Amino acid sequence: MDDSREVPPAMVTKGLGWSGREAPPAPPPAGPGVGEEISGRFGRGEAEERFRELEDPLREIPDETEVDVEHVVGDSRIEEVLEGLDRELVALQEVKGRIREIASLLVVDRLRRLLNLEADPPTLHMVFTGNPGTGKTTVARKMGQILYSLGYVRKGHLVSVGRDDLVGQYVGHTAPKTREVIKRAMGGVLFIDEAYHIYRVDNERDYGQETVEILLEVMENSREDLVVIMAGYKDHMDRFFHDVPGLSSRIAHHINFPDYDLDELMEIAHLMVEQQRYRFSEDAVQAFREYLGERKKQPRFANGRSVRNALDRARMRQAVRLYEAARRGRRLTKKDLVTIEAEDILASRVFEGGFYKKSVPTGER
């Protein structure tokens, strides 16, 4: 983001809900920084000239001075990013509300900087708790876009890692691995999935403590150039924070991602089918709903991820069905190619004569 541009005259606008009369220019693609100082990259030089030299802007700037909300919101395309989050994720209203709160904080902080009302940058490290497939990685990626749009990180990219990417297997191996990951993540978001595996407090030979120490240092000293998001099951993350004193206090935002109910899972399925340019037949809708109801009872159900896997297998069965039909001389139509039928779903091994087959091994089929 170019923070050297001239700031337009102040004006009264509506605020974060502004949608703009014209589409603002797209931000530059994520890429390497151009070498500016930290103070320039993050909008620290963005105050209007008439305010920049004031010794005490809080007292010397009249309270009636207006700020250009339209410019900040429009230029950052923040509403476009938030609307994309609404489109891509079903339900999760509380999660979306928390993300909008954080976006509002960043917008207001940038508006304050227009008046040279400097303050310490907000702490933006986060914890996402919840079961697999509830949208944690998607939200982390959107958070990177929000941070980039408002000039808080240089790139806005997401680096997703686990324990094996951070922790070494012998003495002297951990620090280089951890620092290399952090180097790649600088200017964006470091997303640590199943973060509770980093440090195994019950293992005296575990090298994860070194990773934790490096992360603590970076989270405190480099928070203007890196946001760390840790994710995992809530009970596991609670124990992790109990075992690692000082970590929880460096994380300002704890966001829980609930499981999807059956109606929400079906909404996800319809969105995925449409995105892939398929459609369900009327009977297939009911069959897939029945499938999800039974699949949810099995271990290792992964919400949206399990929906995607089930649809992939249904597409495979549809392809086999159509290929065999064509071999027998049947002419195929566009309708055939885009329609998932009930038989493509009911062929799953979770069914037997329309009923759940309890004797088959658990897992996704």
> What is the model's pLDDT at position 45?
53
Q: In CATH, what class is 38-257?
A: alpha beta
> What is the model's pLDDT at position 152?
86
Residue 357 has pLDDT above 50, yes or no: no
Q: Does domain 262-356 have CATH number 2.60.120.560?
A: no
Residue 8 has pLDDT above 90, yes or no: no
Half-sphere exposure of 300 (CA within 13 A, CB side): 6
Question: 109-118, 179-188, 189-198, 229-238: which has the minimum mean pLDDT?
Answer: 109-118
Residue 360 has pLDDT above 90, yes or no: no
Mean pLDDT of 160-178: 94
Task: Round to the nearest angstrom and report the end-to-end CA distance of the chain.
Answer: 47
> What is the model's pLDDT at position 20?
34
**Which is more confidently placed, 250 or 267?**
267
Per-residue pLDDT of 287-342, as tens digits, reads 999 999 999 998 899 999 999 999 999 999 999 999 999 999 999 999 999 999 99
Do the two domains 38-257 and 262-356 of this chain adopt the same fold? no
Residue 244: DSSP 8-state? S
Extract the tokens encoding 112. Answer: 């304050």
Instruction: Find out whether 231 and 136 touch, Cβ atoms under 8 Å.
Output: yes
Q: Provide, rounded to the nearest whole percent, the portion of the chain with pLDDT above 90.
A: 61
Question: What residue segments make up the domains of the chain, in order of their start?
Answer: 38-257, 262-356
Extract the tokens encoding 181. Answer: 């990951």
SS3 of residue 154 by DSSP: coil
Residue 364 has pLDDT above 80, yes or no: no
Confidence class of residue 46 from pLDDT cuts 50, 70 and 90? Answer: low
